Amino acid sequence: MDINSLEIKKILIIDLAFIGDVILATPVTRALKTKWPEAEITMLTVPFTQPVAQMNPYVDNTLIYDKRGIHRGLSGMWQMAKELKQYKFDLAVCMNFAVRGAVVAWMARIPYRLGYDAQHASFFLTWTASHIRKGIKHETENHLEVLEPFGISTEDTSLKLEPPAGAISSMEAKYKQYGIEKGKYYVVCPMGSYERKNIPISMAAQLIREIKSTYPVYLIGGTKEKIELISYAQAGQLSEAHVFAGTLDLQELAVFIKNAAGMVTVDTGPMHIAQAVNCPTIAVFGPTDPTVWGPRNENSCYIYTREQCSPCWGKGECKDNVCIKKIKAKDLYEKLQQYSGH
């Protein structure tokens, strides 16, 4: 079937993964918008990542698949399909290896369905891309492989998020509330999705003391990380007021990172947000591969000691976390000064 002969007016992108995955799908949305500039693009996400999808400049609308709530289980899939059917999408692009998106698109009777061939998804799809990655490359380029059956791509693999006016306005109020001056603070995100990604407290404390000699430092993370982040702050002689753990929603966080002088972070969602809002970023890598997940903006870099056992994705036998501990706080500070221009 020749895709150039298709009349595509409404596209549904199904991305039911994490913050980073939704952001790293930017080139896919860009390529689809370039191919069908008049088409309306909607992204279907889980509830937590919807605010991120809403900041994608190539996405016109967002919908929620609450797979742990009202759309849970097989009956929930039927309900989701019923909801999607009313939008009369022409094309569904399933971004994840999990079969769920392909099944729901099929149940919703979307006529054209593109996705990966993993987990027997081929039965539910019109076109399939191989789930076997072609070499080790950045995840933005990996995501673009889903479009190979269409023969379309983009050379622009940069990430982009545009925070809405409401988030900008609410952050202005919080800047006044906390006495923060835009452009004159640094952000540190020391904790990732699992412990082996984390910057050790002793290293973070030294880094914080170095950084705050230039500008104030703020620690960011989720609500569940608040107690540990307070420990980080105390070790670096910061007050609890410098800990933003669940203090900002995702769109406010994007504004906060965008307006920072720079950020030091581990491999986690806020690192990708920083890239998408063009904040100078120094990323700390140990158990994961920066070739796949690392920052690529000209104002950013990663520090990685390339241990023989890395990447282990947190599943290695190492108990000392040597891949992170070998990194020096002084090196992080010097790189932050270099890339932030301060």
109 and 178, same domain (yes or no): no
Phi, psi of 208 (to 5 degrees): -60, -45
Q: Residue 91 is part of which domain span?
A: 3-150
On the 0-12 / 13-18 / 19+ scale of CB atoms within 10 A, 224 is: exposed
Rounded Cα distance, 17 and 96, in Å: 7
Structural domain count, the chain: 2
Instruction: Evaluate whether residue 163 is within a structural domain.
Output: no
**Which amino acid type is present at position 3?**
I
Q: What is the tally of helices (H) and strands (E) in the chain?
A: 14, 12
8 Å CB contact between 225 and 194:
no
Residue 227, in any domain of the structure: yes
225 CB neighbour count, 10 Å cutoff: 20
E-state strands within 157-231: 186-189, 217-221
Could you tell me if 125 and 88 lie in one domain? yes
Whether residues 76 and 134 share a domain: the answer is yes
Same domain for 120 and 184: no
Is the same domain home to 98 and 138? yes
pLDDT of residue 121: 93
Task: Record the tokens describing residue 245, joined without a space.
Answer: 């753990």
Structure letter (DSSP) for residue 197: G
Cα–Cα distance for residue pair 180/37, rounded to 1 Å: 40
User: 321: domain CATH number?
Assistant: 3.40.50.2000
Q: What's the pTM value of the predicted model, to 2 decimals?
A: 0.95
Q: What is the pLDDT along the chain (342 residues), one digit of tens a residue?
A: 778 888 999 999 999 999 999 999 999 999 999 999 999 999 999 999 999 999 999 999 999 999 999 999 999 999 999 999 999 999 999 999 999 999 999 999 999 999 999 999 999 999 999 999 989 999 999 999 999 999 999 999 999 999 999 999 999 999 999 999 999 999 999 999 999 999 999 999 999 999 999 999 999 999 999 999 999 999 999 999 999 999 999 999 999 999 999 999 999 999 999 999 999 999 999 999 999 999 999 999 999 998 888 898 888 778 788 889 999 999 999 999 999 987
Q: Do 332 and 298 share a structural domain?
A: yes
Residue 162 lies in a domain: no
270 and 233 co-located in one domain: yes
Tell me if 73 is assigned to some domain.
yes
Same domain, 173 and 146: no
- The reported pLDDT for the residue numbered 316 is 79
**53 and 144 assigned to the same domain:** yes
